[in-house]
Amino acid sequence: MNTLRHALRQLLRTPGFSLIVILSLALGIGANTIVFSWIDTILLRPLPGVRHGEDIVALLPTIDGNQVGGHTISLPDIQAYDEMDTVFAGVIGSQITPANVRIGDRHPWLFGQIVTGNFFEVLGVQALPDLGRVLHRNDTTSPGGNPVLVLSEATWRSQFGADPAIVGREIELNQHPFTIVGVVPANFRGTMSGLTADFWAPVTMHREVANFGSLETRTDRWLHSQARLQPGVSIDQARAAVTVRGQQLAETYPENRRHGAVPLPMWQTPYGGQAVFLPALRVLAVVGLVILLLVTANVANLLVARATARQQETAIRLAVGAGRRHLVQQWLTESLLYAVLGGAVGLLVTVWGASFFAIFLPESPLPAGYEFAITGRVLGVTLALSLLTGVVFGLAPALLAIGTSVLEALKAGGRTGSMSGRSHRLRNALVIGEVALALVLLAGAALCIRGSQQARQIDPGFDPSGVLVSGLRIGMNGYDEERGLVFYQQLRERLAATPGVEAVGLASWFPLGFEGGPSIGITVPGYTPTENENMAVPYAIISAGYLEAMRIPLRAGRDFTDLDDGEHPLVMIVNEALAERYWPGQDAVGRKVQTWRGEATVVGVTPTGRYRSLNEPAQPFLYFADRQGVADLNLGIALRTTGGDPRQLLPTLRQAVAALDPNVELWATLPLSEYIEAAHLVNRVATTLLTGLGVIALLLASMGIYGVMAFMVGRRLPEFGIRLALGAAPKDVAGLVLRDGLRLVALGLLVGSVGAWAAGVGLASALPGVSSHDVSAMIGVALLLTGIALLACWLPARRAMRVDPIQTLQAQ
């Protein structure tokens, strides 16, 4: 307690110094805690509101034992894996979908999940007290025969005014009556991490809610699946058991040949916020550590300077019998006090900064968002960082203190003591480290800025400017395939004849959004796959006019026409990556491809574009014609305007849809240029945060350089006075100071260049557009850092130039 009281007195004795130290630590600890709160929410707690969420694993499909990028499994396979009760406490299936709800005279679009009957049971989610129940297995007894809904608490409050009599109320969803049976707590957001579900409906109501999927067909793999591990079962044991079960299913059902499943931790799922933000979070975790090291070095520098200033005090303590162990305890106590106070302020920074993540999310039709909370785990990390940094930066002055020579320190106030020499060398080393770390961060920021610019220049294979996209879910309005084809054809013809519309096309999926597209397994006659080769190819269903609306050129062959219908042979358009893979150096037009629907003929070849991300390698892709029996009743429409803002076409689109069917509601309408902002999200997060942290690193390094040079000038004032008295010019004295400072900067740049190169390699592998060989960016950052360092050295150099030799010598 005496040591603590002394530490408090030291803190209050120098309030300015203490404030700088505490704020510096708050910055470093707060930045790391903010990043960890994001990691905690996005990766470690992807399923908030779920009981013992750490026991939930994702069940992902495989082909020939390899995970192939697919996300979904068929309902019969989910039910088969659910029978593995020695491994799993339950296996669930779900699929998220928008739905149009009629609430009085309002028709809002809500997002919900179609779920298996054991969904809430396996997840351990209960309804709110006095607000009904969750779905049970007996709610999935017959297709189309279980029209019940469970609402989220947020939807109950926002859409239904927190009506206490909500249970038993009937509403209209997609023009079908449903009865609300319960409300679940707001902290449960569903099983698609990063998305918030408004309601949950039984899987047997899939036609009424989403109008897609099958309950019996094993080849219709449309449900995301999760499982709860039994107590004591590891994920490796579950993986082995699932592999065996998959092989059994493959032997029993021919359609499961080559297909299996693999359990993975939820943070490794290829869907949801984990997959989107994992690259950025990896970068930010490293950046946070670098900032913490930089702050620690800076604070250690400040404390070493103060230890030097208190050298005579330390010597007197030792002279009157104080033990060196007691001095170490004293210094560490002071350091830990600063660290704890810095951590407390850093926690306040975290409370404010954790929600900062939301500003990066672009406009999207999906209900994206996170609820960031300061959990016990986040508090634990804050405390651990505070104590660790306190010990680390407290060791430097403590070690200097116990190495003090009492005799030398008492001579002339210790100006020539050994501690001053050691502290000077230590402070030089710390400044070199600060410059090196600042260079790494600034280089990373520069590479991200250049990378973002380059990513904007990447050709995605289509032209997003001047295009309006909108979703149409006519299957939810009671349309079957025959009527749907007529509706879409009439809508396309009506819009194509409208002034201001250059081109119009339909598609089941638009590239570079948050929504992943489907894949289809193919067989190419004459091509022998290598062992475990992935023969699944992403695809989209499109209409005639889509390629024109998106300005996707044809390299060979022709576009789809309205004659490509169910009365004519199946055709497809492929990209150059697919053509080169299966028919290298040959003409792909006219080639045959076997699909689950039968044999299709290639009629056109497009350039290879970017489909799911900007930094994806060239991958095969194919298109089916919408009128050939593969019609999707949930098509989107792409309208290219003849000029101006594509939003000006929205009234035209609304009028055209209403003229055909006033009950059809547009969903998720926005310019294509904004829709594909999802592809730039990771770059924007990394660039913004790295730039901000790079500026902070530059300031910290400048402070460190200035502190060391100012300290050095203060110690050498007598020397400079003598030099000037003997005839040295002021500029020569300034040159000495500048040379010493630039020597430290040069050493820091040399050390930091290695780290900057490693950072460039890491960023290039994670972010689109970033090049690890961007020499101009590296040189620019080094020059910037050198310029700031020159300024930091020049201020002490000016003081050295203005030394009065007579006053300086009289003071000795």
More confident residue, 666 or 709: 666
pLDDT digits (tens, 9 = 90+) for 39-49: 998 898 999 99
- Residue 536, judged by CB atoms within 10 A of its CB (0-12, 13-18, 19+), counts as middle
The answer to whether residues 93 and 14 belong to one domain is no
741 occurs within a structural domain = no
Residues β-bridged to residue 606: 575
Integer Cα distance of 468 and 495 in angstroms: 12
* Domain end (from 628, 643, 658): 643
pLDDT at 314 over 70: no
The CA-based diameter of the chain, rounded to the nearest angstrom, is 107
End-to-end alpha carbon distance in the chain: 40
pLDDT of 68 reads 67
pLDDT digits (tens, 9 = 90+) for 340-384: 898 899 888 888 877 777 777 766 667 777 888 788 888 888 888
The answer to whether 548 touches 606, Cβ cutoff 8 Å, is: no
Average pLDDT (383-389) is 87
pLDDT of 168 reads 95
The answer to whether residues 6 and 144 belong to one domain is no
Average pLDDT (556-565) is 93
C-beta atoms surrounding 617 within 10 Å: 7
* Most confidently predicted of 296-310, 445-459, 568-582, 653-667: 568-582
174 occurs within a structural domain = yes
More confident residue, 415 or 477: 477
The answer to whether residues 76 and 204 belong to one domain is yes
pLDDT of 535 reads 81
**Cα dist from 745 to 89, 290, 425, 693, 739, whole Å:** 60, 18, 14, 20, 10
In whole angstroms, what separates CA 260 from the centre of its chain?
29
Integer Cα distance of 511 and 613 in angstroms: 8
The answer to whether 630 touches 624, Cβ cutoff 8 Å, is: yes
Query: Following CA atoms 281, 286, 288, 290 in sequence, which dihedral angle do they give, to the nearest 10 degrees?
Result: -170
More confident residue, 552 or 721: 552
pLDDT range class, residue 110, cuts 50, 70, 90: very high
Which of the 8 DSSP states describes residue 529? P
Alpha helices for 539-627 (secondary structure H): 546-550, 576-582
pLDDT of 318 reads 58
Integer Cα distance of 316 and 311 in angstroms: 9
pLDDT digits (tens, 9 = 90+) for 491-548: 999 999 999 999 999 999 899 887 777 788 889 998 988 877 778 888 999 999 999 9
Question: How many percent of the chain have pLDDT more than 70?
Answer: 92
Residue 773 structure tokens:
């060989």
The answer to whether 298 touches 434, Cβ cutoff 8 Å, is: yes
Q: Which residue has the tokens 């199946």?
A: 570
Integer Cα distance of 539 and 537 in angstroms: 6
* Domain end (from 626, 643, 660): 643
Question: How many percent of the chain have pLDDT more than 90?
Answer: 39
pLDDT range class, residue 212, cuts 50, 70, 90: confident
Integer Cα distance of 389 and 336 in angstroms: 8
The answer to whether 399 touches 336, Cβ cutoff 8 Å, is: no
pLDDT at 197 over 50: yes
Query: Following CA atoms 164, 166, 168, 171 in sequence, which dihedral angle do they give, to the nearest 10 degrees?
Result: 160
The answer to whether residues 486 and 625 belong to one domain is yes
More confident residue, 203 or 269: 203
Average pLDDT (787-808) is 80
The answer to whether residues 355 and 478 belong to one domain is no
pLDDT of 416 reads 42
More confident residue, 105 or 162: 162
pLDDT range class, residue 417, cuts 50, 70, 90: very low
More confident residue, 306 or 634: 634
The answer to whether 510 touches 612, Cβ cutoff 8 Å, is: no
More confident residue, 302 or 99: 99
pLDDT of 196 reads 92
pLDDT of 350 reads 85
Whole-structure pTM value? 0.80
Q: Mind giving me the DSSP string for 244-255?
A: HHHHHHHHH-GG
Residues β-bridged to residue 537: 520
629 occurs within a structural domain = yes
pLDDT of 547 reads 97
Average pLDDT (223-240) is 96
pLDDT of 338 reads 87
Which of the 8 DSSP states describes residue 195? B
pLDDT of 703 reads 78
The answer to whether residues 624 and 541 belong to one domain is yes
768 occurs within a structural domain = no
Integer Cα distance of 682 and 687 in angstroms: 8
The answer to whether residues 37 and 77 belong to one domain is no
Q: What residue numbers bound the domain in which 576 lies?
A: 467-643
765 occurs within a structural domain = no
User: Which of 171-175, 321-325, 785-789 is predicted least confidently?
Assistant: 321-325
* Domain end (from 586, 614, 643): 643
pLDDT digits (tens, 9 = 90+) for 756-765: 888 888 888 8
The answer to whether 224 touches 272, Cβ cutoff 8 Å, is: no
755 occurs within a structural domain = no
Nearest to 39 by CA among 384, 370, 442, 360: 370
The answer to whether 610 touches 511, Cβ cutoff 8 Å, is: yes
pLDDT digits (tens, 9 = 90+) for 44-98: 899 999 999 999 999 999 887 777 667 899 999 999 999 999 999 999 999 999 8
Which of the 8 DSSP states describes residue 182? E
pLDDT range class, residue 476, cuts 50, 70, 90: confident
Nearest to 681 by CA among 267, 368, 280: 280
pLDDT range class, residue 405, cuts 50, 70, 90: low
The amino acid at residue 151 is: L
The answer to whether residues 488 and 635 belong to one domain is yes
The amino acid at residue 79 is: Q
pLDDT at 810 over 70: no
Phi, psi of 560, deg, nearest 5: -70, 150
140 occurs within a structural domain = yes
pLDDT range class, residue 408, cuts 50, 70, 90: low
The answer to whether residues 170 and 316 belong to one domain is no
pLDDT of 381 reads 87
342 Cβ contact list (under 8 Å, min separation 6): 21, 22, 23, 24, 25, 26, 28, 29, 386, 389
Mean pLDDT for all residues in the chain: 86
The answer to whether residues 16 and 125 belong to one domain is no
More confident residue, 654 or 737: 654
- Angle (deg, nearest 10), helices 681-715 and 15-39: 160
The answer to whether 350 touches 386, Cβ cutoff 8 Å, is: no
Nearest to 182 by CA among 203, 155, 209: 155
Residue 237 structure tokens:
């044991």
Average pLDDT (139-160) is 94
Integer Cα distance of 501 and 651 in angstroms: 12
User: Which of 394-408, 430-444, 585-599, 700-714 is predicted least confidently?
Assistant: 394-408
The answer to whether residues 482 and 605 belong to one domain is yes
Number of structural domains found in the chain: 3
pLDDT of 154 reads 94
Residue 190 structure tokens:
């569903």
505 occurs within a structural domain = yes
Integer Cα distance of 341 and 68 in angstroms: 49
Average pLDDT (296-324) is 68
The answer to whether residues 620 and 472 belong to one domain is yes
In whole angstroms, what separates CA 521 from the centre of its chain?
30
pLDDT of 421 reads 60
